[in-house]
Amino acid sequence: MDVGMMLRAEPVGTGRAMNRVGRWELGLLVAVLPWCWVSWLASGCVPQETDPDAEEPGRRAPCVQVAEVVSEMVTDELELRANLMASRQTAVIARSPGWISELRVDEGDEVVGDETVLATMSMEAQDLNVNVARAGIDMAEAQLNQARLQLEQARIELSRVQALREQGAATDQQLEQVQTTVATLEQLVNQADAHVRMLRTQLRQAQDLASDSEIRAPFDGVVAHRLVEVGQLITNFPPTPLFVLLDPSQIRVIANVPERYAQRVRVGIPATVILSDGTEMEGTLDHVSPDLDLRSRTLRVWTLLDNSDGRLRHGGSAVLRINLGQVVRPILPRHAITRVEGDRGTLFALNPDGRTVRQIEVLLGSLQDQHYPVLEGLAPGDLIVERGWTTLGEGMEVRPTRQPTCDGGEE
């Protein structure tokens, strides 16, 4: 309502009516005027001085601390996931088929090579093979003796015919016939003799197999797995594994080196094994594979650790750190990297316009003194965001500074 119009309203009607209207208008004016004044102040009706250059709250570019990438001499180290494997492991098989009659060891038992009996077998089949081989030899020897007797008689006949031929009492045809008979019998005797020798060899082999009723440990170690039960039939084709034995006195720490480092690793260079509990064990590379794996494009390497105290477990995991020597590389402070996944790290770099940032990915070496060597992705002189990156996004505008604080203390 326009207050001015209210004040200029003309009285209407009689004097008593005018008095009633006047009192009503005065009361309304007293009630409305304070409300209008408060409303004008709250709604900005009253003109206020404003700064045309002032920025809206929350729209100011964040301040970030930037730094120039520098290079330093660092130890070029390669950290790889590794597996702990016993230096020797084998599946024990039987030399001949049969049935398991007794098991003398179980998983976790320690064994002594050539002494500990792992299991015994029923060798009925081998005993039968021995008997068959002996019978075959008896038959072959009888045939050999028969051939030798025939040969002896043929040679006597040849001598008689030769004498008669010299006297003119036998023809050349008769002599040639006897000579052919002798040659044939000599060949039969040689064949029979070779057959007997072969059967005797088979008999010895059958006897050896029949004596293999005891399965013994091939080396000192421990039984990792028992794979058979009493009464189980053991075959040779395919062979049935009975036990898996390990020799854990030495542990191989096996890792796969990426192809890009293949030319730099060699036997004898320093290596450190970092166990799952953080313990570090020093050593050297004891083996470098001569060829790359065609599928993974990696090179298999390992170092040997003494495990006489049994501390290390076959099948465990570790980190193998390989020292590749000193080299000059760009370095990054650890706190500048927003995320690390394996050997990859992400961070923010300042664009050439000096006002916006971009997110980049780099290939990192192993952490050294709270700094990462950069293998790929950055060059000396590049500007990176060192602090203040927590609220940044790709292409965001920033206020870069090389000081720890901005504008008198604002970080």
Question: What is the tens place of the pLDDT at every residue in 349-361?
Answer: 999 999 999 999 9
Whether the pLDDT of residue 120 is over 60: the answer is: yes
Q: Token pair of 278, please?
A: 């953080």
Whether the pLDDT of residue 53 is over 70: the answer is: no
Q: In CATH terms, is domain 63-71+328-401 a member of 3.20.20.450?
A: no
Q: Token pair of 148, please?
A: 């030798």
Whether the pLDDT of residue 232 is over 60: the answer is: yes
In this prediction, residue 27 carries a pLDDT of: 54
Selection from 350, 316, 321, 325 nearest residue 336 by Cα? 350
**Mean pLDDT lowest among 108-117, 126-135, 282-291, 349-358:** 126-135
How many angstroms separate the CA atoms of 121 and 336, rounded? Answer: 67
Facing residues of 271 across strands?
283, 322
Q: Are 285 and 273 in contact (CB under 8 A)?
A: no
| Contacts with 234 (C-beta within 8 Å, 6 or more apart), sequence order | 94, 97, 98, 99, 100, 121, 228, 240, 242
Whether the pLDDT of residue 400 is over 90: the answer is: yes
CA dist 208 to 54, 127, 154, 227, 239, Å?
Answer: 102, 10, 41, 25, 18
In sequence order, what DSSP letters do the residues of 22-51 get, joined into one string? HHHHHHHHHHHHHHHHHHHHHTT-S-----
| pTM (2 d.p.) | 0.58
Q: Which has more confidence, 34 or 101?
A: 101
Selection from 206, 63, 34 nearest residue 124 by Cα? 206
Q: Token pair of 276, please?
A: 């799952």
In this prediction, residue 241 carries a pLDDT of: 95
In this prediction, residue 108 carries a pLDDT of: 93
Render pLDDT for 88-119 as a digit per residue (tens, 0 to 9).
Answer: 999 999 887 888 999 999 999 999 999 999 99
Whether the pLDDT of residue 409 is over 80: the answer is: no
Q: What is the mean pLDDT of residues 380-386?
A: 94
Question: Quick one: pLDDT band at residue 205, thresholds 50, 70, 90?
Answer: confident
DSSP structure class, residue 343: T
In this prediction, residue 29 carries a pLDDT of: 45
Q: What is the mean pLDDT of residues 193-198?
A: 92
In this prediction, residue 359 carries a pLDDT of: 96
DSSP structure class, residue 219: S
Count of residues making up the chain:
411
Q: In CATH terms, is domain 80-87+246-327 a member of 3.90.226.10?
A: no
